[in-house]
Structure 1
Amino acid sequence: MIGHLLLLAAASVPVAFAEQTPPPAPDYALAAFWAAGPAGPGASAAVPEGATPAARRPPADVFFIHPTTFRTTTQWNQDAGDAATNAWTDASSIARQASAFNACCRVFAPRYRQASFLSKDDGRDRALDLAYGDIERAFDVFLRANRGRPFILAGHSQGGLMVARLVERRIDGTPLAKRLIATYAVGMNVAEGEFGRTIKKVPICDRPAQTGCMVQWNAVLPSTDLAAAAKRSEQAYLDRFHAEAGKTTLCVNPLTFDRAQPSADAERSRGAVPGDPGAGPIRPLVPHAVAARCEQGFLVATPNPALELKALPGGSLHYHDFGLFYADVRANAVLRTQAWLKARR
């Protein structure tokens, strides 16, 4: 499993991983190493115009992992105290992605030694392993603050990879699974066949109010060469399991969150974030602005031109995986939280 954005990276890191001293490990007892969490919500307190209000007394928590925001070709892992990268992370991800969960949950979002845009050699995996080690340590601190409450796991791109790995290694088949509301592992390529193989007990979310399960999607434009994109996305599964069955990348349409309804028109869209993810306040949400359908493992989205979105080469809407469905994710997180609480009354 690897974040879709990382697959797009082609830059070469000139220094071998083994020859580069990693930056110091974050101390998660310190508020400085949390974008949101023990000291308050930070940028995740954002509520764009058109969104439902943030919860005053949220009944659950979310552990959110941001995507790759460290853009360099000279370092394998970010120094978690890098002020410039952290400011960009807060503006582009914590405010525009993690905030989608503040209607149901207290937001906890650790800073971590994220892997940079990487070359395709063994250094990439080692850099990701270093980043994941931080996530596990942050998760342990989160659990102490969580005090037995229900929780959501969420992440995008590299962050989606991290929460999927967290499910596999720390949640699946453990008592923590009983407190898991849902996992939103967005913008990566977990294959359908990994459920029952690497993720043995946590299922795919088939229905919008189902709990203890996982969703995923990768948004692309209709102009995308789906056959070529699917071939690239499925390769990691084929290399690992040498099996065709189950190779299709998981796609759950966030307009419906119902696998029996893989397609939805723009009338189902509750509200999308317009413009590029960047600094400054979030612009007002635009309802009914995107249609989407799952096809060949990808979420083929048709955004209204008024959203002024820029696609990546090949038609990828990777930067907008969350923003296109901001209000839909927000409503679904509330729905699943309510369903979890109702089932345990």
Structure 2
Amino acid sequence: MKTRRSARGLLLAALLLMSILLTGCVARQAENKEAPTDYAVAANWLAMPDTPDKPVDVFYLYPTAWHKESAEEPNICTVDNATLRETAPEMLRQQASVFEPVANVYAPYYRQADAAYCLGLSHDEEYALLNGVPKTDVFAAFDYYLEHENNGRPFILAGHSQGSNMLLYLLDEYMEKNPEVYARMVAAYVIGYSVTGDYLAQNPHLRFAEAADDTGVIISYNTEAPGVTADNPVLLPGAKVINPISWTRDETLAPAEQSLGSASREDPSVKSLPSADARIDKVRGVLICDNQDTDALAPGNAVFPEGVYHGYDYAFYYYNLRENAGQRIEAYLARR
């Protein structure tokens, strides 16, 4: 009798666990199968020029601009979330302004995942989450941009953090299925997230940058102070890196004297930070900056450990990125 009760208890426990898992799966499926945001509505664009006057565009995806304020909130925000609408313009100003002198900037609002929740998932779980609603919005926005705004112009893809993660879906799936679109891509600045050797091996149509003026390539790096050993949630094994000062991929230090200047995050037009140096660490797969104030700029928080300069990936190399975008555009147009 004791054996039967035990077996019955195990069966009930298994059924309860299955019910919980199925409920979670149904919730996740519902969360991931919503209709895309309507990008014919002007209010759903963070940036869209009235009269594009440059020969090249930038399609920009902001990093995480929203976070859950309570555990009861969904893991993905609505496109009209007040915090998202308040913070995303700041990200646009801090990062996409890099490209404004050389390209027309287009940036959609897109629904995104809570960073703390998302970065706490396994890589497969994170992929499944972002492969739903966020990707639906990003693909719909890019389709709308190509059909109604681009007019056949070459374009740059640019993002940071979660925005760069979403660019990997565009580069992987969209560009493989639409090689005629990919042929118009000047470059993709996938900054603040990892582009790994495995990802490139699985996508042989893609290439990582090797120099300052190659085109159709991916540019990526994640910035840290020297000596960081703690887990960096945007750093994946086998991450590829290019030095944004020297535009080489070896481990030679590019000293601050070679930099064009670092920008203030509060006002990117102001060079209030010391010019950052840059050195690649191939073992860890990061870009090392050795001359900034770690205590002031990267003391650590609930998501990123001390010494991770995630919020300064653009600011440290702002003016070098701007010059480089111009270089790649010039090279693309010359080869075209």
Which TM-score band applies after superposition, normalised by the shorter structure? 0.7 to 0.9
* 1:14-163 correspondence to structure 2 within 5 Å: 16=24, 18-19=26-27, 22=31, 25-37=36-48, 57-72=53-68, 73=71, 74-91=73-90, 93-117=91-115, 118=117, 119-120=120-121, 124-129=126-131, 130-144=133-147, 145-163=149-167
Partner in structure 1 of residue 210 of structure 2: 206
Matches of 1:212 and 1:291 in 2, distance apart? 26
Return the alpha-carbon distance in structure 2 between the equivalents of residues 206 and 284 of structure 1: 30
Cα distance change, pair 86–262 in 1 and its aligned pair in 2 (3 A): farther
Q: Which runs of 5+ in 1 are unaligned?
A: 1-14, 41-55, 235-247
**Take 2:328 and 2:227, find their aligned partners in 1: how far apart are those partners?**
33
Aligned counterpart, 1:290? 276
Instruction: Report the counterpart of residue 262 of structure 2 in structure 1.
Output: 272
Give how far 1:261 is off. Answer: 6.6
Query: 1:314 is matched with which residue: 306, 309, 332?
Result: 306
Provide, for residues 169-226 of structure 1, a one-character-per-residue CA deviation record: whole Å limited to 9, x for no partner.
111471122111001111112212432x222122111010110111110000113128
Change (3 A) 1:230 1:110: closer
**Alpha-carbon distance change, 162 to 306 in structure 1, aligned in 2, over 3 angstroms:** closer
CA distance in 1, matches of 2:227, 2:250: 25
Tell me the SS of whatever aligns to 2:152. Answer: coil
Q: Quote how far apart the aligned CAs of 1:231 are.
A: 12
Q: Which amino acid aligns with 2:319?
A: A
In structure 2, do the counterparts of structure 1 residues 115 and 35 end up closer, same or farther at CA, with 3 Å as the change threshold?
same
| Aligned-partner Cα distance in 2 for 1:304–1:149 | 39
Q: Supply the AA of the counterpart residue of 1:64.
A: Y
CA-based RMSD = 2.8
Q: TM-score w.r.t. structure 2 length?
A: 0.79
Q: Distance in 2 between matches of 1:262 and 1:182?
A: 24
Q: 2:174 and 2:48 mapped to 1: Cα distance? A: 20
Q: Which residue of 1 aligns with 2:188?
A: 183
Give the Cα separation in 2 of the matches to 1:69 and 1:230.
17
Write the deviation string for residues 209-256 of structure 1: whole angstroms up to 9, x where unpaired: 110111110000113128x6699721xxxxxxxxxxxxx211111112
Pick from 169, 181, 206: which aligns with 1:165?
169
Larger RCO (alpha carbons 8 Å, 6+ apart)? 1
Which of 216-225 and 261-270 deviates more?
A: 261-270
Q: Which residue of 2 aligns with 1:342?
A: 334
How far off its partner does 1:17 sit? Answer: 6.7
Q: 2 CA distance for matches of 1:326 and 1:167?
A: 24
1:17/1:105 CA distance change after superposition, 3 Å: farther
Output aligned runs, 1:224-235, within 5 Å: 224-225=228-229, 233-234=236-237
TM-score (norm 1): 0.77
Relative to structure 1, the CA distance from residue 270 to residue 115 in structure 2 (aligned partners, 3 Å threshold; closer, same or farther) is same
SS at match of 1:342: helix
1:321–1:254 distance in 2 versus 1, CA, 3 Å: same
- Unaligned runs of 5+ residues in structure 2 are 1-22
Displacement of 1:308 after TM fit? 5.1
Identity %: 28
- Give the total of aligned pairs: 295
8 Å Cα contact 1:31/1:39 also seen in 2: no
Q: Deviations over 1:94-146 (max 9, x none)?
A: 00001111121111111111111214267644431220111000000111211
The one-letter code matched in structure 1 to 2:66 is: F
Q: CA–CA distance in 2 between the matches of 1:90 and 1:292?
A: 28
Deviation at 1:268, TM superposition (A): 1.6
Which residue, 237, 241, 253 being the options, matches 2:243?
253
| Secondary structure of residue in 2 paired with 1:35 | strand
Change (3 A) 1:66 1:304: same
**Structure 2 contact 49–105 (Cα < 8 Å) conserved:** no
More helix by share: 2
